[in-house]
């Protein structure tokens, strides 16, 4: 009798414990959601006040090409055109992704299809190391190696979109590569066997079966790299020159959303237009981050549907 | 073709996975346009033997093969042998249906395209013919451009067979092609294989004794890496000469 009773109480204790655990994890999740929502609210409401409080038109902000916050143009409207930075951000992102993609895929093919032994022993650790290097180091290397290099070849100051692209290329390469490796790894072995058994050469098998089957994963890898490039601030700021001008070529100083943000952050007063437009830039970054996120999910879903 | 000329001859084939000897001297020949069933308990080396015939074991590390495998009189393990061409002549169907994650059409056209065929109409024609021969045309004719992975297991396997037929091999190796399928699908595949016999030589691993007795001309019984007995299917099933063969077959029939 006593035994059964103790058993019962033990059980309900377990239940209590479980309940306790659930409550804790629910609180944690609720907390995270709350933090994310408040950040969103804070950034977006501040960012919108440029348009609501200061009366800047959205068109002028997105498509205006003169960025001189604090000054007004001939028509009396503040000169807060963000187009130079928006274009700068898109240029460096796209160029670095275009550059990194073939390298990343080639490296992944080598590691998975051609020489898994060397891949695991040499390339894998190198990539993991590269992922862990802080961005200021990349920026510093860019400043001391890439900028002078480009100055020597093309003339000018060496600062500009090309330097930023090079730095971002090196920065996103390891991320894109390791995700591409995962994508190729996820291609079942029996696809390769089927192709080889039909008289496919190794290269045909890689090119026509493995890469094709891995396409959604590879796209996700590239989009991830782009998201990282788009959001990178410090390293870019160190090599791009930070001139808020619409980029006309790749080797004159330009700027990105992030570089202008980090440069100007400390120099404005809360509540002024100069400060509010920075929040508007941040809102663009946030929206883009959201866009990249949705894009990867969409690719994932498309890929899953095909299977 | 002279009927008594062997299309594949294997002579004292030994195969080692590392130090583990999986095939212990297999000597076996195959006649053209016949179906040979390879039977025997799991792990006795049937798949391993099958894969020596189109050199698929080359893909596994640490495999050593001795002895001779001849396809139409030519040693396929000689350094001069082009494995890519060889595998176009000796097709293979796997145990698990393994269509590519492409459309049905692209699956069947795959072998043609990698062989450099560009003529769209010709490809279209061969794809259709192959699907018809594989008895799956009626199932897929309206979904040629849908993913092959959306088909049922039995349909997938028949598409895989069509994929092999499209490149017009002379020999088709089948490794338990119906073991992952329901009886109805298996029956369809069996009938289809019987029809294909006119034009192809088939070597099929099977676990299913009824299947072996229904469709094969010859049967070879493997046990622990040895070939115990081979001959006409009828004779193996009704009057085996070896005790092990009899035990295995009767054990299976229950
Ligand atoms: N890739 C491999 N590496 C090492 N040993 C293997 C491999 N494939 C099969 N074997 C071994 O070879 C033997 C024969 O296997 P298999 O040919 O698959 O038998 P079956 O098809 O008759 O069931 C088994 O003992 C198995 O463990
Ligand atoms: Mg097997």
Distance from the Cα of A203 to chain B's closest Cα (Å) equals: 10
- ipTM metric: 0.91
**Interacting residues of A33 by C-beta distance below 8 A, sequence separation 6+:** none
Q: SS3 for B180?
A: coil
- Closest partner residue to A306 (CB to CB) among B56, B110, B147 is B147
Q: What is the mean pLDDT of residues B12-24?
A: 95
Q: How far is Cα B184 from Cα B163, in angstroms, rounded to an integer?
A: 21
Contact check, Cβ <8 Å, B88/A204:
no
Dmax over CA atoms of chain B, in Å, equals 56
**In angstroms, what separates the C-alpha of A112 from chain B's closest C-alpha?**
14
Supply the pLDDT for residue A54: 86
pLDDT of residue B4: 57
Give the bridge partners for B74, in sequence order: B71
Q: Give me ligand 1 centre to Cα A93, in Å.
A: 50
pTM, rounded to two decimals: 0.86
Which residue's CA lies nearest to atom 18 of ligand 1? B47
- Which among A218, A217, A213 has a CA at the least distance from the CA of A191? A213
Ligand 1 centre distance from Cα of residue B186 (Å): 24
Q: Per residue in B141-176, pLDDT tens?
A: 999 999 999 999 999 999 999 999 999 999 999 999
Helix, strand, or coil (residue A98): helix
* Per-residue pLDDT tens over the stretch A227-285: 999 999 999 999 999 999 999 999 999 999 999 999 988 888 888 889 999 999 999 99
Q: What is the pLDDT of residue A38?
A: 95
In terms of DSSP H, where are the helices of chain B? 46-53, 83-89, 104-114, 120-133, 137-140, 153-166, 183-196, 209-215, 233-238, 243-253
Domain ranges of chain A: 2-79, 83-306
B47 alpha carbon – ligand 2 mean position (Å): 4
Give the class (CATH, top level) of A83-306. mainly alpha
The C-alpha atoms of residue B234 and residue B201 are separated, in whole angstroms, by 19
Pick from A191, A197, A199: CB nearest B100: A191
Q: Is the CB of B44 under 6 A from ligand 1?
A: yes
Inter-chain CB proximity B167 and A199 less than 8 Å: yes
Q: What would the pLDDT profile of A167-211 be if each residue is shown by its tens digit?
A: 999 999 999 999 999 999 999 999 999 999 999 999 999 999 999
Q: In A, which residues are within 8 Å of B114 by CB distance?
A: 195, 198-201, 204, 208
B98 vs A194: CB contact, 8 Å cut-off?
Answer: yes
What integer pLDDT is reported at residue B254 of this predicted model?
Answer: 36
Residue A4 pLDDT class (50, 70, 90 cuts): low
Residues 6+ apart with CB under 8 A from B244: B221, B223, B228, B229
Q: At A5, is the secondary structure helix, strand, or coil?
A: helix
Strands B218-223, B226-232: pairing kind: antiparallel
Please, how many CA atoms are within 13 Å of residue B225, restricted to the half-sphere of its CB?
12
What pLDDT score was predicted for residue B1?
45
Reported in sequence order, the residue ranges of A112-249 that DSSP labels E, i.e. its strands, are: none
Residue A305, H or E segment: helix A273-306
**Contacts for A142 with CB less than 8 Å, ≥ 6 apart:** A163, A164, A166, A167, A235, A238, A239
Q: Is B40 helix (H, G, I), strand (E, B) or coil?
A: coil
- DSSP β-bridge partners for residue A284: none
> Is the pLDDT confidence value at A16 over 80?
yes
Residue that has been written with the tokens 């019984």 in this structure: B221
Mutate to test the pocket of ligand 1, among B15, B44, B48, B205 (most ligand atoms within 8 A of CB): B48
The radius of gyration of chain B's CA atoms, rounded to the nearest angstrom, is: 18
Smallest CA–CA distance, residue B238 to chain A, in Å, is 35
């Amino acid at each position: 009798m006593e035994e059964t009773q103790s058993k019962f109480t033990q059980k309900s204790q377990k239940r209590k414990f479980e309940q306790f655990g659930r409550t804790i994890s629910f609180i944690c999740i609720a907390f995270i959601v709350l933090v994310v929502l408040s950040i969103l609210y804070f950034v977006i409401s501040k960012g919108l006040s440029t348009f609501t409080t200061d009366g800047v038109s959205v068109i002028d902000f997105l498509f205006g090409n003169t960025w001189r916050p604090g000054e007004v143009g001939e028509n009396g409207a503040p000169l807060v055109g963000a187009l130079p930075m928006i274009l700068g951000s898109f240029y460096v992102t796209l160029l670095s992704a275009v550059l990194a993609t073939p390298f990343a895929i080639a490296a992944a093919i080598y590691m998975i299809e051609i020489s898994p032994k060397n891949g695991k022993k040499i390339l894998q650790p190198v990539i993991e190391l590269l992922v862990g290097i802080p961005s200021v180091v990349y920026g510093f290397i860019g400043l001391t190696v890439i900028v002078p290099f480009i100055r020597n070849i093309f003339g000018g100051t060496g600062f500009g979109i090309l330097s930023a692209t090079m730095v971002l290329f090196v920065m996103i390469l390891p991320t894109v590569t390791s995700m591409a490796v995962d994508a190729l790894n996820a291609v079942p072995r029996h696809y390769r066997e089927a192709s080889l058994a039909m008289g496919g050469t190794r290269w045909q098998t890689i090119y026509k079966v493995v890469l094709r089957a891995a396409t959604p994963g590879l796209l996700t890898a590239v989009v991830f790299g782009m998201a990282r490039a788009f959001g990178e601030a410090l390293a870019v700021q160190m090599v791009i020159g930070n001139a808020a001008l619409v980029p006309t070529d790749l080797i004159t100083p330009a700027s990105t959303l992030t570089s202008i943000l980090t440069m100007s952050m400390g120099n404005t007063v809360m509540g002024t237009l100069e400060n509010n437009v920075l929040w508007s830039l941040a809102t663009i970054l946030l929206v883009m981050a959201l866009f990249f996120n949705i894009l990867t999910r969409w690719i994932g879903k498309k890929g899953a549907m095909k299977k | 073709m002279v009927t008594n000329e062997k299309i594949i001859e294997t002579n004292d084939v030994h195969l080692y996975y590392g130090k583990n000897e999986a095939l212990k001297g297999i000597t076996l020949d195959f006649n053209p346009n016949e179906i040979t069933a390879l039977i025997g308990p799991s792990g006795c080396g049937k798949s391993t033997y099958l894969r020596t015939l189109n050199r698929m074991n080359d893909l596994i590390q640490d495999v050593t093969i001795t002895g001779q495998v001849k396809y139409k009189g030519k040693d396929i393990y000689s350094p001069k042998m082009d494995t890519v061409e060889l595998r176009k002549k000796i097709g293979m169907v796997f145990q698990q249906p393994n269509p590519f994650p492409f459309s049905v059409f692209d699956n069947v056209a795959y072998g043609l395209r990698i062989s450099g065929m560009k003529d769209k109409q010709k490809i279209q024609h061969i794809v259709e013919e192959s699907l018809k021969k594989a008895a799956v045309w009626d199932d897929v004719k309206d979904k040629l451009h849908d993913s092959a992975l959306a088909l049922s297991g039995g349909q997938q396997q028949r598409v895989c067979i069509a994929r092999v037929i499209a490149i017009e091999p002379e020999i088709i190796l089948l490794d338990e092609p119906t073991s992952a399928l329901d009886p109805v699908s298996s029956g369809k595949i069996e009938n289809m294989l019987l029809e294909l016999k006119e034009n192809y030589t088939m070597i099929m691993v099977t676990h299913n004794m009824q299947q072996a007795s229904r469709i094969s001309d010859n049967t070879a019984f493997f046990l622990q890496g040895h070939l115990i007995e081979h001959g006409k299917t009828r004779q193996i099933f009704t009057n085996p000469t070896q005790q092990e063969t009899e035990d295995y077959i009767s054990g299976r029939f229950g």
